[in-house]
Every structure is written in C-alpha cells, then in structure tokens.
C-alpha cells in the first residue's frame, strides 16, 4: 500500500465514496468541488491510499491560508470528514495518521477532523463533543409521530395546520431563478444581524454538480417565496443542510411545513434517516428537532492546534450549516 497526496478530487473517488459504508455526501465531489469553487482561498487536497494501483481509501481536506500559515480541516464548517473507503480499518487508520502528521509542518497552525461515526482515536488532539438530530423515517412519519405525547403532537399539528390555512405550499425548486429566490430570502433574513450569507456561487455549484442528490424546496404563499431548504440526498440518508424562512414565513410556520413536506417525500422515496443538523447549543432548536421526531446522535470533532493560531478566525468567519 502507498499513500499519496493529490491536489484535486479525482473522479474515481466518487465511486469509492459510493461503496464506502461511512462516506457521507460531504465526501463527494459535488460537495468538495463546490466548496473549493465558492471559496477560492480554500485549497482542496486528498490523501489517497492505493493498493495495486487502485484507490481503496481517501481523506479529503481543505487548507486555508493566511500569509505563510495554514489551517487544515477535514472538513471545515462542521461538515463530516475523515478517512473513508473500502479498505479495512487498519488502512483507514494509516491514512488518518498520515493526515495527523501535517500538524508537524512549521506552517500548519491548526488541524482537525470531524469523526461522525466515532470510530477513530484522537491521536493526541483535543476532542470536542458535537451532536446532530436524526429522524428515523424508515417507518413513515405518520407512524413515527403517532408515538408522540399529546402536547407535542397537538403543537406540531397546529403549526402545520396554521401554515396550510395561510395558503403556504411547498414545491421543488426548478432552475436558476428558484436558486436566486432562495438566496434572496437568506440575504434579507440575515441582513443587519452581523452574519454573512453563503456565497451565491456555492448554491449554484451544488445544484449544478449534485444532480438528483441536491434539492431545494421552496415555501410559497401565492406568488411570494417565504423560505427555502437545501438538502442532500445520499445513499439512505438525507441531510437538511441549509434552511431559511423570512420573518413572514416564520409567523405562519412555513419552515415547519417545508421540513415536514421534505421528510414525507423522502420517506416515500425509501430514504431511512433525515439528518436535521447540529443545534449549536440552542435549547429551542433541540426542542424543535425533537418535536419533528429527531433523536440525538453524538459525534466528535478532533482538533490539534499550535501557536500562533489566529488563522483559525479565517475559517470561522465563513458561515457554517444552519
């Protein structure tokens, strides 16, 4: 076996991700190339393990630069990273060790990876506990939600009824105009809040590269868009990556109807889990996700840091998934 570094994402790695039991949408070229396209200051690399001239495992990572200093993440913005492939765990661990060795370079001030499956050792790094909420949609939402307590079920049904009575309809986006409508909602909602919006190019590139794996749903009230949800459909799982509602949409629970519609649709298509994302320590978000059937899934972020580490701010100023 040999491990090589490539300064790109070779097309054959997508097939390797498809065959890997631990790969997520974030390991695919659709995500990685879109991210590199939207953020030119992030350089995309992959460590690739080869046996007999064929790739059997890889670890994608992106490098942020400030002068001579580097911050290295697999993957940035809290998305799931680390090694994946069809090789055994010993080979995957060897790839991770090769990645960990990058922190020994004098120009690298921070290195980290997100271990979604909690399977790898920390290799001396600082471990941070993270959590997302997963909904088991394999049994259908009606059956899942029928198990809820009376109060939770009544509150959810009332919110969904309120949205429908307000004339809110959820439709799949179609074309560049709908992508622009979603982006406009995000801009208006975040304006004046000190938060930056993902680049428009990221949305456009994801839709262009993702094909059937990337979908945007929009909540409409007559001819006005109240919100949108961009989700990733990969293997048996759906990740609700980025959703946003206008103030008017929030008042009529358009976001909840949009999410419920997407979950019903995914269940009918045979997807098994719906990932509602991290809650960033906000108890209100945790309650909301539990009300939609979500159960906590803990995972780890491993961070190695050397001084100076001010380069970290360069990554953190870019918004992560919401």
Per residue in 47-93, pLDDT (tens digit) is 999 999 999 999 999 999 888 889 999 999 989 999 999 999 999 99
Q: Assess whether 50 and 89 both reside in one domain.
A: yes
Model pTM score: 0.93
Q: Does residue 118 belong to any structural domain of this protein?
A: yes
Number of Cα atoms under 13 Å in the Cβ half of residue 186: 22
Does 98 share its domain with 217?
A: no
Do 163 and 205 belong to one domain?
yes
Residues 114 and 226 in one domain: no
Q: How confident is the model at residue 284 (pLDDT cuts 50, 70, 90)?
A: confident
Task: Answer yes or no: is 253 within a domain.
Answer: yes
Q: For residue 277, tell me if it sits in a domain.
A: no
Q: What is the dihedral of CA 258, 262, 263, 266, to 10 degrees?
A: 180
Does 278 reside within a domain? Answer: no
In angstroms, the CA 241 to CA 256 distance is 15
Mean pLDDT of the chain: 92
- Asked if residue 287 is part of any domain, the answer here is no
140-186: pLDDT as tens digits? 988 888 888 778 888 999 999 999 999 999 999 988 999 999 999 99
Q: What is the CATH number of the domain that holds 98?
A: 3.40.630.30
Read off the pLDDT band of 312 (50, 70, 90): low
Split at pLDDT 50, 70, 90, the class of 313 is low
pLDDT(315) > 70 = no
Tell me the C-alpha distance between 20 and 253, whole Å.
38
Indicate if 307 and 253 belong to the same structural domain.
no
Q: Judge whether 285 lies within some domain.
A: no
Model confidence band, residue 197 (pLDDT cutoffs 50, 70, 90): confident
pLDDT at 309 over 70: no
Is there a domain that residue 291 lies in?
no
**What total of structural domains would you count in the chain?**
2
Quick one: pLDDT at residue 273? 97
With respect to residue 322, please indicate whether it lies within any of the assigned structural domains: no
Q: What is the DSSP letter of 28?
A: S
State the residue range of the domain holding 306: 2-129+301-316
Mind listing the pLDDT tens digit for each residue in 88-136?
Answer: 999 999 999 999 999 999 999 999 999 999 999 999 999 999 999 999 9
Judgement on whether residues 85 and 166 belong to the same structural domain of the protein:
no
Calculate the alpha carbon distances from 72 to 22, 95, 293 in Å: 21, 15, 35
Shared-domain flag, residues 53 and 98: yes
């Amino acid at each position: 076996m040999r491990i090589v570094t490539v300064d790109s994402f070779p097309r054959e790695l997508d097939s390797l991700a498809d065959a890997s039991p631990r790969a997520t949408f974030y390991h695919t070229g659709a995500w990685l190339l879109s991210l590199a396209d939207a953020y030119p200051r992030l350089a995309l690399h992959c460590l690739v393990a080869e046996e007999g001239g064929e790739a059997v495992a890889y670890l994608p990572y992106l490098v942020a630069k400030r002068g001579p200093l580097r911050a290295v993440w697999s993957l940035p913005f809290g998305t799931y990273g680390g090694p994946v492939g069809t090789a055994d765990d010993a080979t995957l661990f060897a790839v991770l060790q090769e990645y960990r060795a990058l922190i020994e370079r004098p120009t690298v001030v921070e290195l980290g990876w997100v271990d979604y499956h909690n399977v790898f050792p920390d290799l001396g790094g600082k471990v941070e506990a993270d959590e997302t909420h997963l909904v088991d949609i394999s049994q259908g939402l009606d059956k899942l939600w029928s198990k809820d307590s009376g109060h939770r079920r009544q509150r959810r049904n009332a919110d969904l009824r309120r949205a429908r009575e307000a004339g809110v309809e959820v439709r799949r986006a179609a074309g560049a105009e709908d992508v622009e409508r979603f982006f406009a909602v995000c801009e208006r909602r975040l304006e004046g809040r000190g938060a930056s919006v993902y680049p428009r190019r990221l949305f456009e590139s994801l839709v262009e590269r993702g094909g059937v794996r990337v979908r945007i749903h929009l909540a409409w009230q007559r001819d006005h868009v109240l919100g949108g949800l961009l989700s990733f459909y990969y293997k048996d799982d759906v990740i609700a990556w980025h959703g946003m509602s206008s103030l008017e949409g929030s008042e009529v629970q358009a976001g909840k109807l949009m999410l419920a519609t997407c979950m019903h649709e995914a269940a009918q298509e045979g997807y098994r889990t719906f990932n509602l994302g991290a809650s960033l320590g906000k108890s209100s978000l945790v309650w909301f996700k539990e009300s939609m059937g979500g159960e906590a899934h803990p995972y780890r972020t491993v961070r190695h840091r050397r001084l100076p580490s001010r380069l970290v701010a360069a990554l953190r100023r870019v918004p992560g998934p919401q």
